[in-house]
Each structure stands twice: as structure tokens, then as C-alpha cells.
Amino acid sequence: MLIDWFTVVAQLLNFLILVWLLKRFLYQPVLDAIDAREHRIAKELAQADATRNAAQAEQTHFREQQAALDAQREALLATATAEADAEGKRLIEAARQRATELEAHQTQRLATQATALRQALAERTQHEVFAVCRKALGDLADAGLESRMVATFVRRLQAARATDEAALLAGFKTSVAPLVVRSAFALSDADRAAVQAALKDDLGIAQAPQFEIASDRVAGIEIASAGQALGWSIADYLDALQASVTELLAAPAPPAGEAKPSIKLKVPTDAG
């Protein structure tokens, strides 16, 4: 069989032209369309991935913010709870201290009132007792008792030269003012002579004294000049005792379990 090379070449050329035409007008647009579609799909997928990543990032950020808000809320709640507990404890403690202070103040006020009441009662009792004693001694005093007290007073004058009263006696000796001898009752001539002798012979006071009656004195006698006085009477003992009792009452109460201080009576002593 003979091969027609012209026909073969013509058919081969026609096939190549057909392939070129198919590629140019059919396959290439299809390929371009496929490429464009694939490119669009890839772009859309990329955008979807970006959107998904952004959404995930936003979701993560939102969760982080939610967690931070939850933590902040828990912290604020814990702080508020702690502050409320502390404030409640402070208020309770302040109320307890206030109640303690009020109780202590009330106790102190009642104790002060009780002390003042006891003090007033003791002072009133003291005043009444000494008033009764003065009246009783004044009723019992008489001229005979006054004479015996003159003798005691003379002995005290003789002993006064060696005591702190020596300066007072020296003042009587040099004083130009009248020297006055006061007694509760009128002194007898013998008693006046005894006083004058004691002043002149024992103390060197040459001035003759003036004798006066002092009805407010309780069985006693004193000499006075220029506002200075030296004397002795039962009233001196009462005054000293009353001063000691007043001092004792004014002293603070001793602690529980300690003995109460005794009264120390400071009165003029009898030199004879």
C-alpha cells in the first residue's frame, strides 16, 4: 500500500492547526476561567481564614477581657468584704470600748458620789460631836477648874523658854503694846499674882498685864500683845483633835487590804 505523504503531511498540519485553534479559542479560555475561579476561590478562602483568625483573635481577646473582668470583680468583692468585716469589727470594738468607758465613768461617778456622801456625813458627824464636846466642857468648867488651869499655864510659861515659843515670849518682853491676859472666868487675886510672878520673875516681863474675861474660851487662859498670843485651854485639845480628824477624812482611802491610818493628835503638852 502506497503512503500519500502529501496527505499525511496535510492531515498532520490540519491536526496541528486544530489543536492550536482548540487551545486558542476553547481550552485557553476554559483554563483561564478555571485559573480565575481557582484564584477567586483561593482569595475567598484566604479571606475566610483571615476572618476566622480575626474572629478567633477577637474571641480570645473577649475571653481574656472577661477573665480580667471576672478577676477584677472577684478582687473588688474580696476587698469590699474584707473592708466590711474590718469596719464591722472596728465598730464593734468602738462600741465595746465606749460601753467600757461609760461603765467605768458611771462606776467612778457613783464611787465619787459615795465618797462625797461619806465625807459629808463624816464631817457633819465630826462637827456635831465636837460641838457637843465644847458645850459639855463649857458647862462643866468653873472657877475652880480655871485656877488649876492657871497653875498649868504658869508651868507652861516657865517651860516655854526652852521651846520654839521663846521668840514669842521675847516679843512680849520688848513689845510696847499692852499685855493682856484672857480667861473664861474672872481670876482670883492669887491666880493673878501667880501669873504676874511668872511673867516677871521667870520671863523677865516687867509690864503689868491687863486681865480680861473671854467668855468664848473653854476653860483656858492666854496672854496676848500686838496681835501675838500664847495660851492653853481644853479648846486647844479639841481644835487639835478636830484638825487631825479633818486631815484623816481628807486623806485618800487606802487600797483594799491595807490598814487605815490612825489619828495622830497634835496638842500642846503640859510641861509640868
**pLDDT of amino acid 264:** 53
Locate all alpha helices (DSSP H) within the chain, ordered by sequence.
5-22, 28-140, 143-160, 166-174, 189-197, 234-250
Please measure the distance between the N-terminal and C-terminal CA atoms of the chain and give it in whole angstroms: 197
Asked if 242 and 122 touch (Cβ cutoff 8 Å), the reply is: no
0.85 surpassed by pTM:
no
**Residues contacting residue 214 through CB under 8 Å, at least 6 positions apart:** 182, 183, 184, 222
Cβ-Cβ contacts under 8 Å for 165 (sequence gap 6 or more): 230
Helix (H) or strand (E) segment spanning residue 181: strand 180-183
The values of phi and psi at residue 181, to 5°, are -110, 120
CA distance 165 to 179: 16
- The pLDDT value recorded for residue 198 is 80
At residue 265, φ and ψ (nearest 5 deg) are -85, 120
Q: Residue ranges of the domains in the chain?
A: 1-108, 141-250
Separation between Cα atoms, residue 188 and residue 147, nearest integer Å:
8
Q: Which amino acid is at 102?
A: L
pLDDT of residue 269: 47
CB–CB of 156/271 below 8 Å?
yes
Opening angle at CA 111, ends 108 and 112, nearest 5: 85
Residue 127's pLDDT is: 61
Q: Which pLDDT score is estimated for 22?
A: 79
Q: Enter the CATH code of domain 141-250.
A: 3.30.2320
Residue ranges of the chain with pLDDT lower than 70?
Answer: 1, 122-123, 125-147, 160-170, 173-174, 176, 215-219, 232-238, 245, 248-272
Q: How many angstroms from the chain centroid is the CA of residue 113?
A: 20
Backbone φ/ψ region at 76: left (φ over 0), alpha (ψ -120 to 50), beta: alpha
